């Protein structure tokens, strides 16, 4: 979307950068995150309606602190600086930033001192969320102070003439009571942007883009059967019709009856060209003896591509491969900030060989999960399908700690199915973002009947989340966990102990590998 109806977010390493993007999109405005090194030429090419400078972990006076091209302030584009972004504005307009005597973290009450278009409708003394250890001690030239807190005398700065605004607090965080008003003030009153980022518009524009890119070429869609790949397949089919060939690969790491159910659903309900490839032996052979989770992901990603390339040769003239890559996959695999650390690679963004005959199409690369679900609804997919929990590309291979065997996969398949069935039985499946079982490389002593057992430990995981970037463990009622545990131990040979994971993200990830 390069038509001036977008917001550019320049990232300086804040933990909240993705949350800024989400809040803007919730207002039906498109936003893109780019590193702070994004050049003036790239900014002009994007032609955004506004620019937001994110927070960050460093201080602007540090020797290696990330900086910005000062010419950005001369583009005539409205700018909002948040936390580090505010201090960067001050630094570039001859203000002064120094370490604070008292660092300010958590809730504070904002005291409004003068009117500002960024604070329209904001309640005096309302709660804002602070996270900073520096203060502006000298007002930047041409700016006025609009608000303060007990520990922060310069909390909001404004240059109405240049349309440059700075906030020491984080409006994107839910704890900031009037954060939505502040963001909307910037979007609609200051940037004069239109709220046209909707599923219907996304579908329309995506179809136009896909047609322009693909023409009459053949396209292969990697159809796993999950929400992302299925929505991608239907979107592509609307764009190019019979030129789409969907390939479902059974990697041997799927859930119980997953492949059979996928084939049945698409054959009975959707007019797609669908090829089913059972490559389970190839995957399991390549995974034999491999325990390192990164190696598993790389092997699975490479093997998927190998199989697709084999199928493309059979098809004859396929030029493109479609994948349902999401924004969190990209963020976790390819850091936005140069100083960031890769958390884990995802098979659809981190495991591709250097040379690949097929060119990638990733229509959802800039989207969060809930946005893809809304697009699925727009395309007519039933709610029961679009609400399915996320399932990782490497499948159960990253839910078995240690090396992979068919026996372990079969054990985990049975246990996982029982767990998910219980969530449906108790009517709580839709309350949970993601739930699954993990087979641990740990055996413990148990007693079944009068006999001693020495079998595997199974961990259950269930979390609530909005986009997968952060997550909290789901607080089950004890009788639900008891029912799931009892059924698993009674019915799955090889498991004699069940535990529940109560870690949140961060510090843990949702998946165990």
Active site residues: 83, 170, 172
User: What is the DSSP code (8-state) at residue 102?
Assistant: E
User: How many CB atoms neighbour CB 425 within 10 A?
Assistant: 13
Q: Are 27 and 65 in contact (CB under 8 A)?
A: no
Contacts of 135 (CB under 8 A, 6+ apart): 97, 98, 99, 100, 152, 153, 154
* Cα–Cα distance, 412 to 54 (Å, whole number): 42
Integer angstrom CA distances of residue 472 from 23, 256, 426, 463 = 19, 27, 20, 5
* The token pair that represents 236 in the structure block: 């592509």
* The token pair that represents 513 in the structure block: 């590998």
Q: Are 361 and 58 in contact (CB under 8 A)?
A: no
φ, ψ at 6 (rounded to 5°): -150, 160
3-class SS of residue 86: helix
H/E run at residue 7: strand 6-11
φ, ψ at 118 (rounded to 5°): -75, -20
Q: Are 346 and 393 in contact (CB under 8 A)?
A: yes
* Cα–Cα distance, 2 to 205 (Å, whole number): 11
* Cα–Cα distance, 156 to 337 (Å, whole number): 26
Contacts of 429 (CB under 8 A, 6+ apart): 387, 389, 420, 423, 435
């Amino acid at each position: 979307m390069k038509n001036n109806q977008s917001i550019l977010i320049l990232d300086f390493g804040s933990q909240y950068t993705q949350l800024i993007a989400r809040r803007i999109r919730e207002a039906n405005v498109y936003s893109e995150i780019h590193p702070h090194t994004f050049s003036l030429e790239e900014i002009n090419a994007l032609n955004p309606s506004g620019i937001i400078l994110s927070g960050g972990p460093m201080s602007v006076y540090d020797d290696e602190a990330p900086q910005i091209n000062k010419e950005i302030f001369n583009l005539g584009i409205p700018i909002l600086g948040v936390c580090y972004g505010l201090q960067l504005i001050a630094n570039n307009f001859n203000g002064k930033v120094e370490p604070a005597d008292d660092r300010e973290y958590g809730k504070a009450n904002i005291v409004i001192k003068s009117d500002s278009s960024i604070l329209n409708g904001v309640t005096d003394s309302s709660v804002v969320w602070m996270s900073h250890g520096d203060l502006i001690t000298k007002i930047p030239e041409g700016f006025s102070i609009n608000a303060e807190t007990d520990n922060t005398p310069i909390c909001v700065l404004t240059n109405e003439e240049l349309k440059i605004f700075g906030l020491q607090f984080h409006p994107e965080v839910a704890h900031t009571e009037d954060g939505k008003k502040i963001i909307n003030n910037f979007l609609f009153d200051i940037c004069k942007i239109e709220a046209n980022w909707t599923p219907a518009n996304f579908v329309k524009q995506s179809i136009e883009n896909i047609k322009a890119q693909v023409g009459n070429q053949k396209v292969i869609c990697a159809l796993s059967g999950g929400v992302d790949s299925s929505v991608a397949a239907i979107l592509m089919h609307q764009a190019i019709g019979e030129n789409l060939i969907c390939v479902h690969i059974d990697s041997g790491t799927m859930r119980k009856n997953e492949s059979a159910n996928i084939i049945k659903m698409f054959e009975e309900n959707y007019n797609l060209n669908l090829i089913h490839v059972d490559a389970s032996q190839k995957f399991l052979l390549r995974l034999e003896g491999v325990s390192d989770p990164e190696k598993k992901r790389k092997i699975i990603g490479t093997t998927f591509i190998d199989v697709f390339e084999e199928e493309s040769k059979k098809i004859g003239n396929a030029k493109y491969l479609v994948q349902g890559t999401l924004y969190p996959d990209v963020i976790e695999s390819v850091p936005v900030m140069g100083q960031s650390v890769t958390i884990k690679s995802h098979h659809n963004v981190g495991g591709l060989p250097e040379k690949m005959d097929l060119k990638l199409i990733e229509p959802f690369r800039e989207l969060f999960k809930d946005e893809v679900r809304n697009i699925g609804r727009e395309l007519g997919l039933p709610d029961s399908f679009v609400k399915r929990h996320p399932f990782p590309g490497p499948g159960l291979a990253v839910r078995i700690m240690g090396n992979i065997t068919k026996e372990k996969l079969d054990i985990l398949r049975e246990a996982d199915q029982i767990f998910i069935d219980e969530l449906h039985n108790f009517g709580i499946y839709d309350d949970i973002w993601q739930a699954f079982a993990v087979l641990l490389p740990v055996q413990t002593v148990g007693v079944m009947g009068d006999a001693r057992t020495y079998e595997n430990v199974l961990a259950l995981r269930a979390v609530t989340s909005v986009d997968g970037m952060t997550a909290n463990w789901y607080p089950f009622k004890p009788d639900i966990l008891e029912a799931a545990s009892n059924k698993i131990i009674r019915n799955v040979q090889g498991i004699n102990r069940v535990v529940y994971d109560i870690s949140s993200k961060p510090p843990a990830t949702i998946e165990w590998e």
